[in-house]
Amino acid sequence: MKRGTDTAADEEAQRWAQSLQSMAQQIGRHFARSEARERVGAYLRGLLSPIERKNSWQLAEALGDSAPYGVQHLLGRAQWSADAVREDLRQYVVEHLGEKDAVLVLDETGFLKKGEKSVGVQRQYSGTAGRIENCQIGVFMAYAASGGRTFIDRELYLPQGWVDDRPRLRTAGAPEQAQFATKPQLARQMIERALSAKVPFGWITADEVYGNDRKLRAWLEEQDLSHVMAVASNAYVWLGTKQQKVSAVVKTLPPRAWQVLSCGAGAKGERTYEWALVRLLTILRPGRQRWLLVRRKLGAPQEMAYYAVFASKRKSLEDLVKVAGARWAIEESFQTAKGEVGLDQYEVRSWHGWYRHITLSLLAHAYLTVTRAVAADHESTLLRSSRRLVKKSVHRKSPRQIYGKK
């Protein structure tokens, strides 16, 4: 029995290795030199390895190098496009996880840094640390589908002070055309790329950083893109012919307006809250509707969250709650990407170095997500098959055979 189990495990490991090799070959066409092609495959294997830190020295040691120069060359001086690899990343995710009701989730994360030379670094608020720190900020897009959750795009946030200091930007290797863009503007760029690539999705969601940007929400409506975007308590909405703060609108809701629903499973079980939905004024969009979605904590009704919603009139409260809950997908993905594939463990300072390491880390994370999804589907298929066999076996036997009656 043990030999059969070992054989199955070996076969599974071989399939995973072949899948990783296939991915490395896919992106290898972006590297003109064979050394770089071999190096990027080894880099991916290093990111997926169990070594404690995924920095240049430890990755080099894991790859059998006596010094980190090969890794540093790959991330710094080698000729290849991180954006081209990003296109492969997105295609890989869509190929294996794509579905029409998937949710695009937008959020940023901070990368704590020392000194002033890492591109985009400054003292700024980091949601990761929960305070102002010396850090870089990256804006990311995750793809949340029934089969798994992983990333498909990323952008580095450049503070205004960096954009105004062109010599400093050039020293960090940033392109001459680099300009200041807010986080919502970076999010829009990534959404536009997803649309251009015909990524299948049904919804967009994000936290208050993006939901509070009225220009972004207006643009999403212009593109007829359904969304559930968190907004602050002092945000205004059109109720009838008047603008009101969302916090004031909630005070008018009767007790029967609230329903207890789960927005998905969390680490400690189902994330269950009270939810209410308010129909808002909608103009020039037949079949579409604006709503205010409100979430209230069970046992602590003063703790609320608010969402600006734009979607088909036929969507139910349950549909919208499910999308709101999908926002946790990117937070979970940040945790696994940092913990498993070294997303935040880089030592590069340049523009190219940041984009190259981040993109390869996201590719490694996508590989893990897809591999787990395939394994889960395989186990589910085996379980269904075994149940069918048991059912057929039972049906073939008479009651006397089953219960041993004479």
If you write DSSP's letter for every residue of 81-117 in order, what string do you get? -HHHHHHHHHHHHHHHH--TT-EEEEEEEEEE--SS-
Q: Which residues are CB-contacts of 373 (< 8 A; sequence separation ≥ 6)?
A: 96, 97, 147, 148
Question: What is the chain's Cα-based Rg?
Answer: 25
DSSP 345: -
| Total count of residues recorded for the chain | 406
269: phi > 0 → left, psi -120 to 50 → alpha, else beta; which? Answer: left
pLDDT score at 380: 47
For the chain, the domains span 213-326
pLDDT score at 232: 97
Taking only the tens place, the pLDDT of each residue in 176-224 is 999 999 999 999 999 999 999 999 999 999 999 999 999 999 999 999 9
Q: Read off the tokens for 59.
A: 């990755």
330: phi > 0 → left, psi -120 to 50 → alpha, else beta; which? Answer: alpha
Mean pLDDT in consecutive groups of 10 residues from the start of the chain, 406 residues: 55 73 89 90 92 89 86 93 97 96 97 94 90 96 96 98 96 95 98 98 98 97 97 94 94 95 86 96 88 96 96 96 94 95 95 97 96 72 45 47 46
pLDDT score at 393: 44
Burial class (CB in 10 A: 0-12, 13-18, 19+), 234: exposed
Q: Which residues are CB-contacts of 28 (< 8 A; sequence separation ≥ 6)?
A: 37, 40, 41
Whole-structure pTM value: 0.90
Pair 173, 352: CB distance under 8 Å: yes
